[in-house]
Amino acid sequence: MTETLVHHFSEDPSITRFEPHVPKTNPSQLPAVWAIDAAHAPLYWFPRDCPRATAWPRHAAERDEFRRVLATGADRLHAIEIGWLEAMRSVQLFRYDFDGNDFSPWAEASGQWVSHRAVEPLAVAAVGDLVDAHIEARIELRLVPNLWPLIDLIRDDRWDFSIVRKMYAAPPDIDVR
């Protein structure tokens, strides 16, 4: 089998072995080590607890509608609340690389992979400035006062989306004027 890399992102650069665990945010899952494929890795170019809403067309037929509805010229849109910008600029994030043959696709989310046994990384590298990473990848990084209007808009079968750490987002009923 050809070696395909999958990744894990962490603010801790010293992890030498990843043990399966049950995520606090998803206690119904079996213990696993979680990883992401390269195409979806930008979903994790954020400080760990940063709430974010992301969306992208799955294929060319969805692109025009995606761009029109989300008022963007980009093929990917990532959004964070304005208050997280400084953390985006200052956090030190590290990418761990794993042999994809040690993982299986997790059908519940695009690009997610799991291993039900402990795994050791092949390599670890600093990601660098996360805003710059978005710019270099031509991903629109939108700063919003409140994520909830965008969350409501992107949660749609017309394209793929990911919403992470929404429990840390400002409440939806806050008047942001």
Res 174: pLDDT: 61
Q: 113, 100 in Cβ contact below 8 A? A: yes
In angstroms, the CA 97 to CA 9 distance is 9
The strand pairing partners of 62, in sequence order, are: none
Q: Which two tokens stand for residue 161?
A: 């989306």
pTM: 0.89
**For residues 54 and 61, what is the distance between their CA atoms, to the nearest angstrom?**
19
Per-residue model confidence as pLDDT tens for the chain (177 residues): 446 999 999 999 999 999 999 988 788 888 999 999 999 999 999 999 999 999 999 999 999 999 999 999 999 999 999 999 999 999 999 999 999 999 999 988 889 999 999 999 999 999 999 999 999 999 999 999 999 999 999 998 889 999 999 888 988 876 555
Query: What integer pLDDT is reported at residue 160 of this predicted model?
Result: 92
**pLDDT given at position 92:** 97
Helix (H, G, I), strand (E, B) or coil at 100: helix
* 3 state SS of 44: helix
- For 30, 66, 110, the CA distances from 26, given in Å and listed in that order, are 9, 29, 16
**Residue with the two structure tokens 């909830």:** 148
